Amino acid sequence: MKIDRRKLLAGGAGAAAVSVSAREAVAQGVEWHREVDVVVVGSGATGLPAAIVAREAGASVIVVEAEKHTGGHAICSGGNLPLGGGTAYQKKWGVQDSADLVFRDLTDWSVVSANGSADYRYNDREVIRAFADNCAATAEFLQAHGVVIVDKPPDIQGGNSVGASIPREMHCAPVDWPLIQTGKPAAPENRLTMSTGNGLMHPLAAAARKAGVEILLEHRMKSLHRQSPHAGAVIGIQVEHDNRIINIRARKAVILGTGGSTSNVNFRRMFDPRLTEEYCGVAGTPWSYQDASGELAAMAVGASLWGLYNNTAEMGSGITKPGTVGGQFGYVNLRFFPGSEVFDKARAAGLRVGDWQNLITVNMIGKRFYDETGKQFASDNYGVNKNYVQGSYLNSKNMKWNPNNYLNAALAGIGDGHNGGGPIWAIFDQDAVEREKWDPKAPYVDAENGFFFKADTLAELAKKIQMRFQRTPMPPENLEETVNRYNSFVEKGVDEDFGKPKPLYKIARAPFYAAWATPVLHDTRAGLRINGKCQVVDMNGEIIPGLYCGGESAGGFSLHGLARATCQGFIAGNNAVKEPARA
């Protein structure tokens, strides 16, 4: 493919053209089109802190971002930031913390959730030690670069597996930044009180540009360049932009902040074979896609995966119940509305479920499978175990057993030999619409693409349910039988099948509705093996020189949320600039 080099060589901060006579390029036959000290892949909660740190240390930095906007998965988040270790914020509110306490909390073998899942037992001690030691510095770094923290005591809102000794959660306020969900700023009364990833990522993007970081949007990384396929240093990346291939040389390092693997069906099924194509409402999409591109590129040059247990452990938000029904993207903490730049892809804001008594959920053949009010997986946090003593064997004995198997029941399928559970449908009637105050039409539901159906009878409703993930038709008689049986439970006040606490409402008044209610994938908690410096490690336990990784693309860490991503970006940026420049 012929490339106009004069256009490509137009540079940003510190970027320069490089001759193809560079020793590594000659060895591999690579034609370099750009050169900087540090290349960062991804503009999310790992990538932007890494880029800012490296640039402010004097390195020239390019960030490549696959999407047409910055922010990654993080900007879609709730903005909950469990950074502790003795931050100024904690001290302001009289919360005593230390790096050692963070480390002990996040490696406490004795902690289990209510279903027996171990929250911290399989964390990598070296990775956690580095996180603990850099926690407080990362918090101060973020605030120094424009992130405004909601002025209230640390709490447990949005925290999963963040440590049980003390509350550490702080929250990023949107101030006057536009919300990606609506395209508009938050309401004046919420600008300093609500928690949102917009309040984290917009300031960091502004700080990166102010520092002189060059951000290349719609540049998708295709591969890493290493001095030889499985030896030597990583020396750059290949990206695709506007149907052109561009090679960017990194004199010092490449940092991967690509955000995990939940959107990559074949990759995620290495961890859990059940996660087939119908789990298409991944949290963070359609703003950004966790496509495993960083993991795959690093594995291709010899990198190892790490901490795989954490990805399948039944705790926290690895997979969740939907918070909204009727649209493809039902993550509880994220709704896109008209005005958002990605609403054309989201297509529906969804109907937020206030009370799961207002509906039943059925599988693709119209059968109920569990108590609809059942919770998703639990996780550890401050106050979960009322008798918590760090490191005590009694911690597990004191937990009340509560398996919360709604999600496992939903993923069980219909016994037809397929791995995936198939679509889950919320079934309700007009009375439920009025109780929930729903508006069951666009822009709240996506009927055009088969995520929402309406009919005057249950039999007609079942016949209408046809869409790409509904691999077998729903038998009308099944849905009628299911609803009639459920209505009898409402009369009796007892759910004889699944123990739903006192079923309250019949499904009897037309029209009837079927709304997409399939579980939602969220966290990636396993990825590339890294050490305490965030250097990527290969299958032989050796460091791959010049390659760093953090956040959801890195393994060895069960913590949910923004803290590990921002902190590992901070660590990676600080260490990448110390790499020797390669000739």
Q: What tens digit of pLDDT does each residue of 129-188 get?
A: 999 999 999 999 999 999 999 999 999 999 899 999 999 999 999 999 999 999 999 999
Rg over alpha carbons for the chain, rounded to the nearest Å, is: 25
Which position has the token pair 């904690």?
A: 90
Mean pLDDT of 32-50: 98
Which position has the token pair 């990775």?
A: 127
Mean pLDDT of 314-322: 95
Confidence of residue 9 (pLDDT cuts 50, 70, 90): very low
pLDDT one-digit tens code per residue, 258-274: 999 999 999 999 999 99
**The pLDDT value given to residue 25:** 53
Supply 11's token pair. 């540079």
How do beta strands 535-537 and 425-429 pair?
unpaired
Instruction: Find the Cα–Cα–Cα–Cα dihedral 306, 311, 313, 318, rounded to 10°.
Output: 160
pLDDT one-digit tens code per residue, 473-492: 999 999 999 999 999 999 99
**What is the rounded distance in angstroms from the CA atom of residue 148 to the CA atom of residue 175?**
8
**What is the rounded distance in angstroms from the CA atom of residue 544 to the CA atom of residue 554?**
14
Q: Which residue has the higher pLDDT, 12 or 53?
A: 53
**What is the rounded distance in angstroms from the CA atom of residue 399 to the CA atom of residue 72?**
36
Question: Per-residue b/e over 354-383, b at no fewer than 16 CB within 10 Å?
Answer: eebbbbbbbbbbbebbbbbebebbbbbbbe
Instruction: Look at the pTM and tell me if it is higher than 0.85.
Output: yes
How do beta strands 80-81 and 61-64 pair?
unpaired
Q: How far is CA 202 from CA 70, 154, 189, in A?
A: 8, 22, 19
**The pLDDT value given to residue 560:** 87
pLDDT one-digit tens code per residue, 456-474: 999 999 999 999 999 999 9
Confidence of residue 18 (pLDDT cuts 50, 70, 90): very low
Residue 22 has pLDDT above 70, yes or no: no
Mean pLDDT of 504-508: 98
- The secondary structure of residue 101, as a DSSP letter, is H
For the chain, which domains are there?
Answer: 5-73+214-313+524-576 (3.50.50.60), 76-200 (no CATH), 322-373+425-516 (3.90.700.10)
Residue 305 has pLDDT above 60, yes or no: yes
Contacts of 48 (CB under 8 A, 6+ apart): 63, 70, 201, 204, 205, 207, 208, 257, 569
Residue 27 has pLDDT above 80, yes or no: no
**The pLDDT value given to residue 28:** 61
